[in-house]
Structure 1
Amino acid sequence: MDQQLQQQEMAVFQGVDFVRLRSGRLYAHAAEDGRSVCLDPRRESHNAVWAVTPRFCPTTATYCVLLRGAYGRYLGAPDATARPCSSPCRAAEQRDFDRPEILAILWRTVPTSRQGTFLLKDASERYLRANPRCLCLLSCRPGVSVSTCRGLGKAIQWTVETVPRGGRPDNPIARDSLFARVCPPLSRLCVRWFSEREIRYVDTDGTGAFSEDNWLSTRYTGRTMTNLKRHLVNLLPPDLIAQYTLCVRAGRYGQPTPLAINLPRSRERLDIMLFQYAVSAVDLFIYPDVNAVAGAEAPARDEPVPDE
């Protein structure tokens, strides 16, 4: 494909830091389980916002973008099979960036005849598809998938809403579970059983750099980001008392993502990087204004923290 035409197709993402993906009245959300992608009507939510990272794919020689969700993972799907027709529709996922190149998390836009709407196609020639209705007998949330079939009409047509930058958000409110309030004697044991997870963490130096050999591990119970920060800071040497920004990194090649919400419900391991407020790298972390009006113009972007 001609490079000039590719760049025109990707113009919707040029100079943009954050977007929402809307299908009808529903938005593609990074689901709270930390892995699936669902459709949800709430737009004033960090789960509805995807950070944009431009990228050139040498395998396909195309300009693409990575779309990174609130938990640091990337919008994608299972890797394409050698026989795509045997599985034309696969559920979309929040994926770790754990290999140098993953075609299933690279997206490019294809304009449609409907003004303001686009097709989102991954590097394996699959289209992002909205599934607003569930056809199975069990109740489930509307979801998002990828499909090799283009003839799906509005199901694969997305409105890309630009989200401008905002200030550093307040820490999310910590709430005890209903069970913890009703049954306090048993709650600690049950919460530990159902929500304990491994946290791998690393403290960055004064420039924001770190070594892959310096990761440490701890166990953490619950989902509250504020308590996690307190837990990790208490594990650092006492002479390192400072204010920290907690970032989650999804895979060795993932970009550090500031935690603006509480942790996902799953008990999967999370990799957390601690950045002191004083280090210059913190100034490069940017946040979306989730309350901004749809389609607001984004300011000029700075260079983000580079992928590790």
Structure 2
Amino acid sequence: MQRSGRQQLPRRAPAAMDLFPDGAFVRLQNRVQQKYLYADDDGEGVSVRPYGHVFSLNAVWRVHRVLVAGNNIVLLQGVAYGRYLAISPGMAPPGYRGRRAVQRDYAGDNVGALMWNPLRIVDGERYVRLRNEFNRNLLRANGRYRTWHTAVTADIDDYGRLSTMMQWTVHRFQVVPGLPPLPRPTVYLGGRRGLFGRRMPEADERRTIRHVRANNEGDFDQDSNNWPTFNFFGRSVFNLRIQVGMRQPGGEVWAITMAVRPGSQGRLTPLVTDLPNSVDNMDIVVFDTGSQGAQNLVYPAI
């Protein structure tokens, strides 16, 4: 007899690359909980969250396809902070199954943890499992019975018996060129708890911002070690825009567009949400608003 919540599936499931074209924006909804894959505000964790009245950019992912040994592989880049969905080498705490799913920059040699292979469950449907190419684990939600366990993990294929918590419905967004308006200034009071209850830094702690100016076509110095730096306090993207703009030629603040580069191999992501609640360094590429480089940036119509 099969265990509750699990089903016997073929060992060789067909790929579902048609649901993940390069550059597309998607949201992934867990079929059991009906909640969405969400890039946590700490810039590191990944969880499942309900839709809510206003759909957050944290629940939107951009498809980044790469070719590995002649095979197409999917990377999923968070639209809010630009970081990529990855699997951690560390095991999840008690109460969770498998290894932690996290947000990571795309850089260095250990990039296999960012690579996913979508496997179709039913022909003609938009249901998939996401298998990590680093260790073959499958992305899963937690909290079927312990509903307060919202973190996402990557779990093993339990000898062919695959939990329905590993099934995700793929929803697509329309791609819009340019950028949405920046949010209004936000005030943050105090710290909060992040991934698995870890205490996050207070808003007055600083992070290092590296920034570079792109030319009209969008070209810029790729070596971030050459970029100027400054210390930035808080999370407000509005305040960051002012600080970055003051450091540009002529001190231009309102006619610039910012994009975050999440690692040397990561794709540029328009920075239109407040920064993650962490002190991790950030690399910012600055464009002239209206330039060809800025027009090449895209965002999802949500």
**TM range, smaller chain:** 0.7 to 0.9
Q: 1:133 to 1:266 in 2, by over 3 A?
A: farther
**Aligned residue in 2 for 1:297:** none
Deviation at residue 17 of structure 1 after TM alignment: 1.2
Deviation at residue 241 of structure 1 after TM alignment: 6.9
**Aligned residue in 2 for 1:200:** 210
Q: Deviations over 1:101-157 (max 9, x none)?
A: 61111111111148431111111211111113585xxx9550111112252421111
**Aligned residue in 1 for 2:60:** 49
**Aligned residue in 1 for 2:8:** none
Indicate if the aligned counterparts of 1:195 and 1:265 stay in contact, CA closer than 8 A. no
Amino acid across the alignment from 1:56: L
Q: 1:38 to 1:80 in 2, by over 3 A?
A: closer
**Aligned residue in 1 for 2:21:** 14
TM-score normalised by L of structure 2: 0.79
TM-score normalised by L of structure 1: 0.77
**Aligned residue in 2 for 1:264:** 276
Indicate if the aligned counterparts of 1:46 and 1:260 stay in contact, CA closer than 8 A. no
CA distance in 2, matches of 1:166, 1:173: 21
Deviation at residue 206 of structure 1 after TM alignment: 2.6
Q: 1:48 to 1:204 in 2, by over 3 A?
A: same
Amino acid across the alignment from 1:109: P
Superposition map of 1:153-232 within 5 A: 153-166=163-176, 168-178=179-189, 194-211=204-221, 212=223, 213-232=225-244
Indicate if the aligned counterparts of 2:15 and 2:119 stay in contact, CA closer than 8 A. no
Q: Greater helix share, 1 or 2?
A: 1
Indicate if the aligned counterparts of 1:80 and 1:104 stay in contact, CA closer than 8 A. no
**Aligned residue in 1 for 2:152:** 144
Deviation at residue 79 of structure 1 after TM alignment: 4.7
CA distance in 2, matches of 1:235, 1:34: 26
**Aligned residue in 2 for 1:277:** 289
CA distance in 2, matches of 1:91, 1:142: 12
Indicate if the aligned counterparts of 1:10 and 1:109 stay in contact, CA closer than 8 A. yes
Q: 1:267 to 1:239 in 2, by over 3 A?
A: closer
SS class of match (2:244): helix
Indicate if the aligned counterparts of 1:98 and 1:251 stay in contact, CA closer than 8 A. yes
Indicate if the aligned counterparts of 1:28 and 1:38 stay in contact, CA closer than 8 A. yes
CA distance in 1, matches of 2:202, 2:122: 51
Amino acid across the alignment from 2:117: R
**Aligned residue in 1 for 2:77:** 68
| Structure 2 unmatched runs, 5+ | 1-11, 191-200
Superposition map of 1:119-134 within 5 A: 119-124=129-134, 125-133=136-144
Indicate if the aligned counterparts of 1:107 and 1:122 stay in contact, CA closer than 8 A. yes
Indicate if the aligned counterparts of 1:18 and 1:49 stay in contact, CA closer than 8 A. yes
SS class of match (2:266): coil
Deviation at residue 279 of structure 1 after TM alignment: 2.5
CA distance in 2, matches of 1:197, 1:134: 38
Moved over 4 A (4+): 5-8, 239-242
Amino acid across the alignment from 2:41: E
Q: Deviations over 1:175-197 (max 9, x none)?
A: 22356xxxxxxxxxx966x4321
Amino acid across the alignment from 1:200: R
- Using the TM superposition, name which of 118-127 and 139-148 deviates more: 139-148
Indicate if the aligned counterparts of 1:19 and 1:161 stay in contact, CA closer than 8 A. yes
Amino acid across the alignment from 1:122: N
- Percent of aligned pairs with the same residue? 30
**Aligned residue in 2 for 1:294:** none
Indicate if the aligned counterparts of 1:191 and 1:221 stay in contact, CA closer than 8 A. no
Q: 1:195 to 1:14 in 2, by over 3 A?
A: same
CA distance in 1, matches of 2:183, 2:155: 36
Amino acid across the alignment from 1:207: E
Superposition map of 1:217-256 within 5 A: 217-238=229-250, 243-256=255-268
Query: How many residues are aligned here?
Result: 265
**Aligned residue in 2 for 1:31:** 40
CA distance in 2, matches of 1:10, 1:224: 37
Q: 1:113 to 1:17 in 2, by over 3 A?
A: closer
Deviation at residue 280 of structure 1 after TM alignment: 1.2
